Amino acid sequence: MKQIQISNYVMFAPYKYTWIEENGTRHECCLISIQCNQKMIRLTNYQKYVGAANGSNHAYDVDNDSIRRVCNFLTYALFKHYGRYHARSITEIPFQSVVDYLNEYSRTPNSMGDYPGRQSVEKERYAICHFMKNLKEIRKDHNEHFYVKKILMESVSSNKWGGRKRSRAVWEYEIPARYLGNSSKGLLRDIPQKVIPILIRAVKQKEPELVLAVLLQLCAGIREGEVVNVRRASSIYPNGVRYVKENGEFTSFEVDISKEYVLRSDGKETGKIKIKRKQSVYPIFLDVIQEAYEKHLKMINEKYLEPEAPLFVNGSINTTTGKRMAISKQSYCKKIVSIMREIVLPELLRSDDTELRVFGMMLNESNWGLHAFRHWFTVQLVLNGEDINSIAFWRGDASLESAFIYLQNKGEIMRLYEKASEEVGNDIINAINKEDLYGI
């Protein structure tokens, strides 16, 4: 039999493209392709086996990160190690190749010499095991291995009305995971309550047009890629922002991120919406949002906005349209991280307050990202006595799993955070009003 030669330059790779409907709705399609020397040979339909759902018919319903992970695994099993496994197609990929790949992945350090942490390994295992499970009966060993299956676990949630027993579904993996990396190394998620007013003042001083964006993350748990998708009420696209006012005060405030629209005249993406939904601000923060929202509208002159009317815009003017375009997630994150490093950090390190100084030292030695705002928001929900369903609702989660994790650690959270949420809200308002940096 003629031996098959596999080039080291042949690989599976994501193939992504986007299209835009006339009403401005953006769609993104991610397929799995085969490439040679970075040139596409052909497309496959393997993306339909990616994800927890058993074979989505719509490529744009699939998580692109999972597709990337599956591509890496397929390259490993079918091309890179063909001589070891002799698999000629996805139906012949053996169980051992999955075990070997996940073991090798967990033992491979990055350019900084760090091993993948627990979260990274779990995501890799999730993507690969679900892919193999979804092959079902077309795989030769489908009766021998389950790879991944759902099981029900009972838990008791604690809330202001007493504990209630609930069942939640979790995934059980046949292949064990190995964690050589420190999952918490270099990643700082907790923010002491005392730091929030300092951060808000710094953003107000350096990037006043982004104060409302930061507050929407802190007060509604909106992710950084989602907040740049928020539109003004005057947008050509419907339902950007909705609020109800009684006696001059907000009684509700909701942003519509149920669709990804094209908010820039150059067609570039602003950010991804992870879970499409209509997200409300948590009630105790309504006065904070009202203060910031009304000042934001006065600060951003609407006549200089493009018709899509994004709520948050770049500082520069588009030379073609003469208007200001929506800010991108990358630009927004870069600005806020820069403020945290250049303004907030030095103030923390100079502080006479031991808690602030210790946090400053931790921040100086760790990576920090804007997802910490969503973590802080969730902590406020726990401190305010919300139960597992309420936490999932206010976070806009698709499942109860994240809420369950926070409730498991409720005692530790209560120990670390002593201030009540209402007091924190007052601190934020004071930070906004302390100096008139808006120029209005």
> Phi/psi at 13 (nearest 5 deg)?
-150, 150
Residue 163 has pLDDT above 70, yes or no: no
Per-residue confidence (pLDDT) for residue 119, from 0 to 100: 80
| Length reported for the chain | 440
Q: For residue 259, give the CATH number of its domain.
A: 1.10.443.10
In the predicted structure, residue 437 carries a pLDDT above the cut 50: no
Is residue 273 scored above 70 in pLDDT? yes
DSSP string, 300-330: S-GGGB-TT-BSSB-SSPPTTTSSBPBPPHH
Residue 351 covered by a domain: yes
pLDDT tens track for 210-231: 999 999 999 999 999 999 999 9
Task: Give yes or no for a contact between 321 and 265, defined as CB atoms under 8 angstroms apart.
Answer: yes
Please indicate, yes or no, whether residues 123 and 71 belong to a single structural domain of this protein.
Answer: yes
Section 58-63 average pLDDT = 51
Q: Is residue 5 part of a domain?
A: no
Confidence category of residue 425, pLDDT binned at 50, 70, 90: low
Domain termination residue (choose one: 121, 147, 173): 173
Provide mean pLDDT across the span 406-416. Answer: 67
Q: Is residue 245 a contact partner of residue 251, using CB atoms and an 8 Å limit?
A: yes
Same domain, 73 and 192: no
Q: Region 345-349: what's the mean pLDDT?
A: 95
pLDDT-derived band at 164 (thresholds 50, 70, 90) equals: low
Report the distance separating Cα 127 and Cα 115, nearest Å. 19
Report the interhelical angle of 421-433 vs 195-206 (nearest 10°): 30
Residue type, 408: Q
Report d(CA 178, CA 124) in Å as an integer.
11
Q: How far apart are alpha carbons 107 and 181 in whole angstroms? A: 9
Tokens (6 digits) for 335 = 């600005």
In this structure, the answer to whether residues 221 and 125 fall within a common structural domain is: no
Give the dihedral sign, CA 83/86/88/94: negative
Range of the domain at 45: 10-173
- Report the pLDDT value the prediction gives residue 436, as an integer from 0 to 100: 45
pLDDT of residue 62: 59
Confidence band (pLDDT; 50, 70, 90) for 43?
Answer: very high
Judged by DSSP in three states, 27 sits in strand
pLDDT at residue 160 tops 50: no
Residue 414 — very low, low, confident or very high, per pLDDT cuts 50/70/90? low
Mean pLDDT of 284-293: 94
Share of the chain above pLDDT 70, in %: 84
Residues 203, 158 share a domain: no
Last residue of a domain, one of 129, 146, 173: 173
Kindly state the tokens that stand for 222. 């909106």
Residue 180 domain-assigned? Answer: no
Higher pLDDT, 260 or 164: 260
Q: How many domains does the chain have?
A: 2
In the predicted model, is pLDDT for residue 416 greater than 90?
A: no
Residues 46 and 119 in one domain: yes
Judge whether 440 lies within some domain: no
Q: Which range among 173-182, 265-274, 402-411 shows the weakest confidence by mean pLDDT?
A: 402-411
- Tell me the average pLDDT of the chain: 84
Of 173, 204, 233, which marks where a domain is finished? 173
pLDDT of residue 117: 83
Question: Over 90: is that where the pLDDT of 11 sits?
Answer: yes
> Does 138 share its domain with 210?
no
- Banded model confidence at residue 154, pLDDT cuts 50, 70, 90: low
The predicted structure's pLDDT at residue 264 = 87
d(CA 189, CA 373): 8
How far, in Å, CA of 174 to CA of 147, rounded?
5
Ramachandran bin of 313, using left for φ above 0, alpha for ψ from -120 to 50, beta for the remaining angles: beta
Highest mean pLDDT (candidates 36-45, 58-67, 425-434): 36-45
Confirm whether 262 is domain-assigned. Answer: yes
15 and 77 belong to one structural domain: yes
Residues 361, 314: one domain? Answer: yes
Q: Does 260 fall in a domain?
A: yes
Higher pLDDT pick, 241 / 171: 241
Q: What local confidence, expressed as pLDDT, does residue 1 receive?
A: 41
One-character DSSP codes across 105-124: HHT---TTSPPP-HHHHHHH
Please check whether residues 236 and 385 belong to one and the same domain. yes
* Least confident span in 20-29, 171-180, 350-359: 20-29
Question: Domain for residue 178, yes or no?
Answer: no
Enumerate residues 6+ apart whose C-beta is below 8 A from 74. 12, 32, 46, 90, 93
Domain shared by 114 and 221, yes or no = no
Q: How many helices (H) and strands (E) does the chain have?
A: 16, 10
- Name the strand (E) or helix (H) holding 10: strand 10-20
Give the pLDDT confidence score for residue 422 in this predicted structure: 47
What is the pLDDT at residue 368?
A: 87
Per-residue confidence band for 207, with pLDDT thresholds at 50, 70 and 90: very high
CA distance 233 to 204: 23
- Based on the fold, state whether residues 57 and 191 are members of the same structural domain: no
Residue 61 lies in a domain: yes
CB 407 within 8 A of CB 399: no
> In this structure, are 138 and 246 located in the same domain?
no
Contact 118, 178 (CB under 8 A): no
Joined together, the tokens standing for residue 312 give 């948050």
- Report the C-alpha gap between 163 and 156 in whole angstroms: 6
Over range 230-258, report the average pLDDT.
92
Between CA 299 and CA 361 the distance in angstroms is: 35
